[in-house]
Structure 1
Amino acid sequence: MPDWQPRNTSRARELRNAATPAERRLWEFLGRSGLGVKFSRQMPVGPWFADFLCRELRLVIELDGHSHDVDPDRDVRRDADLKARGYHVLHFTNADVMQDAEAVARAIQQEIEKLRR
């Protein structure tokens, strides 16, 4: 039986409340099952917080802004750990979302369709 560990839900709530403009913009497409699957925002997954998580498909969407430029090795470690846990991770930049959120949503929709096969 796996060890149960409490999730840091208070930190997740803080991150949701402090969402970036890009996160808020993408949520317009992902929220309310807008792409046909349920996504949650700022969900704890192991020691990490996924910007957006679809539990059903084990799909993590990460939006990369300035903070990701500061420690790119952290992103590599996080992605490797998430992959080891059975998650698929897609990355988009904040600029991608702000310039063309619909294109980002289409790319996510394509991944959803691929994972459903």
Structure 2
Amino acid sequence: MRNKIIPYNPKLKAYARELRNNSTLGEVLLWQKIKGRALGVQFHRQVPLNAFIVDFYCHELQLAIEVDGRSHDFKYRYDAKRQGILESLGVRFVRFQDREVKQDMFSVILALQ
């Protein structure tokens, strides 16, 4: 099912806005490459889905992109649970390490095409 709208907690809107205004360098660099339908589809930054916020999301493809930096170092179980819940709603995930985005953007973009 494409372009499915996934409900979210409206209380997350303000936090998502805050995250957009305080993006990591890896998120900023990736955003510069995928914004404006650069890959043929539209992505949005820091999108509330269900009870969570994903770094980037394409409604058309139901695809979430996560850039995992130091804040994810000790959250493996939480991230896996969160991803499992969103995957049960039809969201597909692609995860990149922050250092991948910073050091090998070419491969990151290739993986998204």
TM-score, L = length of structure 1: 0.86
Structure with the bigger percentage of helix:
1
Deviations 1:45-99 (A, max 9, x none): 0111110000011000001011111221011101101110100000000000000
Q: Is 1:66 matched up with 2:70?
A: yes
Write the letter of the residue equivalent to 2:10: P
Relative contact order (alpha carbons < 8 A, sep ≥ 6): 1 or 2 greater?
2
3-state SS of paired residue (2:45): strand
| SS of aligned partner of 2:20 | helix
Q: CA RMSD in A?
A: 1.4
Given candidates 19, 23, 30, the residue that maps to 1:19 is: 23
Shift of 1:5: 4.8
Unaligned runs of 5+ in 1: 110-117
Matched residues, number: 107
TM-score (norm 2): 0.89
Deviant stretches of 4+, over 3 Å: none
Partner Cα distance (2:10, 2:23) in 1: 23
Q: Which runs of 5+ in 2 are unaligned?
A: 1-6
